[in-house]
Structure 1
């Protein structure tokens, strides 16, 4: 079957290519319907990755956050028309210790091979998870980034000690919003405090216990654990601020992506006996666990609706370019492409 693929060939330039999809008895064919733009997509689109990386990765179809409808399933797992979330992580082996999203052999869509900007996507059935039919489709489109927060919290629950009276979340953007929301739902008896730089953004965190500007943190505030959701050039400052306010033997979860090295106060890490761990991407178990959480607590989806930004219908390359350019200038929220190709 001939498939239309929309590849980024160089920064800010998409082109159409046609590729064959082999129809076999092991793969499900999905038609994408809603795609969400991630910061990682923007780094490719704007040419913000190193020249050697761009040369190696492009041309490539972008987007690793998306949902679609099953149009053909010879495996018998899904009925035609079933609404599914597509898992971008694609492992080629199993390991009894290392999770699928940390195996160096695993492939990841829109980072090394084509993402979901295609008319049809061929996927193995274990890379698809059924969504509730009544879910907000634009929220469902960015299930992947929510699953990353879910994954980091599950690891935190394994790594941290059980005194979890107060947890701090650094970052007032989408990742900080999602992570603090899931923390309040998964740890309802824990006080969650969010630290940011924009007061108007912090006003949206109505579900947490306290919010603080990073320039105005009470000196007597103490945290048991913390999550860093800042990334970029400010990651170092955020991590060091966490080190200042966290209690001894606390756990710090690093989630923000930075292109540059982030110097941290290792002396106080040692003196306080802190545990620092990183989390990246997610696996099938995280997607399934998150979908179960959505079903049990539909109010989580209601809160996530607040970070749905622009919803742009996409029928052409010009529409795709418009969506990516609009996303660059957003203040907050997720840009969702309603994929009408």
Structure 2
């Protein structure tokens, strides 16, 4: 099969590779669409020790089951494989399973390839009227869904139902869409990149800001660098909630004194539960997350050039989806 191989920092190769190694319970999925995540970019830059080269990256995928009794079924993939037996799994918190695996991290190869191996319990059937390109957005949308759910559950009922999202990339946009779908009427997005901000203005009805202009009861940090954590600390209202999704860097920014004195709740959010993923997929299929026309599609073979363009900040769309068969 053809695949995009992360070979070394800032080095990708499109080449022939063996078919995926199948673990127990796995089925083979023919990948029709796979999105580029910020974590893929971190790996490409050599900033993610969990993804050592050489490796097939990519985990935001949708496709068609290639073999077995469900052959031909159109599916979107939950890339997080849990053990099913631990306390976290039994309580619906599979994202905290100590034995969890994810495609694009050893021992599982990712979906920047024509085929990927995954347990059938990680698949959600996609209706015929939903394009598989849009179905591949279920994974990043589920990250936003999980963060939105936890943030709203923690928000005091007396506070104004309003949120501020820091970052207008795919996860920031997903958080906006999921907060709205879960009933929050007012959500502003902060995006300093003018091309990205213009794209967002054309594709959603949020207020798009270059910097925060007022405090909010709920602040979502979808970037996760010191500067955005500092902005979240400054612009969350007393008694409010900060949900932290982004993993841009791992140090600095939080004003612990203010958060303590103002009783601000800080929630680190990682991926999603299987129920979050299913709920997101159903909301996507029902049209509750918008038209989902905020991606750009390119061939998988263009992967090296696409990563370079993303690194240079030359892609306006929040998401690039790669097509392995083009």
Q: Return the alpha-carbon distance in structure 2 between the equivalents of residues 22 and 184 of structure 1.
A: 39
Q: Deviations over 1:200-259 (max 9, x none)?
A: 5445246445443316x2xxx44222211222353333223324xx1x221111112132
Unaligned runs of 5+ in 1: none
Change (3 A) 1:289 1:201: same
Q: How far apart are 1:98 and its partner, in Å?
A: 7.1
Structure 2 partner of 1:252: 242
Structure 1 partner of 2:186: 191
Aligned with 1:330: secondary structure? coil
Equivalent of residue 212 in structure 1, options 190, 200, 209: 209
Change (3 A) 1:200 1:312: closer
Deviation larger for 167-176 or 145-154: 167-176
Change (3 A) 1:165 1:340: same
Q: How does 1:17-96 map to 2 (within 5 A)?
A: 17-19=17-19, 21-22=21-22, 26-47=25-46, 49=47, 53=49, 57-73=52-68, 76=69, 78=70, 80-92=71-83, 93-95=85-87, 96=90
Q: How far apart are 1:13 and its partner, in Å?
A: 3.3
Computed over aligned residues only, the root mean square deviation of the Cα atoms, in angstroms, reads: 2.6
Q: Deviations over 1:131-175 (max 9, x none)?
A: 122223322223211110011112223322223422222223322
Structure 2 partner of 1:181: 177
Q: How does 1:186-335 map to 2 (within 5 A)?
A: 186-188=182-184, 190-198=185-193, 201-203=196-198, 204-205=200-201, 207-208=204-205, 210-214=207-211, 217=213, 221-243=214-236, 246=237, 248-296=238-286, 298=287, 300-302=289-291, 304-305=292-293, 307-309=294-296, 311-314=297-300, 316=301, 319-328=302-311, 329-335=314-320
Aligned with 2:232: secondary structure? helix
Unaligned runs of 5+ in 2: none
Q: Return the alpha-carbon distance in structure 1 between the equivalents of residues 191 and 2 of structure 2.
A: 42
Aligned with 1:110: secondary structure? coil
Q: Contact 1:184/1:192 (CA < 8 Å) preserved in 2?
A: yes
Q: Which has the larger radius of gyration?
A: 1
Q: How far apart are 1:179 and its partner, in Å?
A: 1.1
Q: How far apart are 1:108 and its partner, in Å?
A: 1.3
Aligned length: 315
Q: Return the alpha-carbon distance in structure 2 between the equivalents of residues 87 and 123 of structure 1.
A: 9
Aligned with 1:101: secondary structure? helix
Change (3 A) 1:262 1:104: farther
Q: How far apart are 1:118 and its partner, in Å?
A: 3.1
Question: TM (normalized to structure 1)?
Answer: 0.82
Q: How does 1:65-144 map to 2 (within 5 A)?
A: 65-73=60-68, 76=69, 78=70, 80-92=71-83, 93-95=85-87, 96-97=90-91, 99-112=93-106, 113-144=108-139
User: Are 1:168 and 2:151 counterparts?
Assistant: no
